[in-house]
Amino acid sequence: MAQFGRDNSQMPQMAAATLKHMLLLSTPLLLGMAALSPAVVPLFYGPAFRPAAVALALAATLAIPRCLLNPGFNYLQAIERQRLLLYWNLLCACINIGLDLTLIPRWKAVGAVMASGIAQLFSVVGIWVIIIFLHKVKAPWGA
């Protein structure tokens, strides 16, 4: 995004390319972690922690959208839309707290992972919807 100060005409293409590459790199790594979690948790923490593998697998899967958050943040910061980021993050934090209060009492650690993952997914989708539709950045998966 340092290029923005010299020539901002390439910013939308840079944002779309970054989104595409982050998705291509993070998806196989995190899905691999989710698949290996039943073996990894007992290996590192012992058989008593085997039930935590479910939370780790869910956390790894729900972390895929989180990898797409920083390119969106960087783009909106580069175009001086920090106020939008502030308000959007406040809304997502409130959603996260509400989901925590709802899901943790019933599902414990898995509920915490689900609440955090859902709030982060909401944050990522909202930021990229704003970037793609309001700022006319061409989505890397569209025509």
Alpha-carbon Rg for the chain, nearest whole angstrom, is 18
pLDDT for residue 138: 82
Contact 72, 131 (CB under 8 A): yes
| C-alpha to C-alpha distance for 110 and 120, rounded to whole angstroms | 15
Cα angle: 115, vertex 121, 126; to 5 degrees = 130
As averages over each run of 10 residues, the pLDDT of the chain (143 residues) reads: 65 88 96 98 97 97 95 91 95 98 97 98 95 84 61
Contact 60, 117 (CB under 8 A): no
| C-alpha to C-alpha distance for 135 and 76, rounded to whole angstroms | 10
pTM, two decimal places: 0.87
pLDDT for residue 142: 62
pLDDT for residue 39: 97
| C-alpha to C-alpha distance for 91 and 133, rounded to whole angstroms | 20
pLDDT for residue 6: 64
CA distances from 127 to 1, 25, 101, 122, 137 (A): 17, 20, 24, 9, 12
pLDDT for residue 4: 52
pLDDT for residue 143: 47
CA nearest to 143, candidates 11, 16, 15, 23 = 16
| C-alpha to C-alpha distance for 141 and 139, rounded to whole angstroms | 6
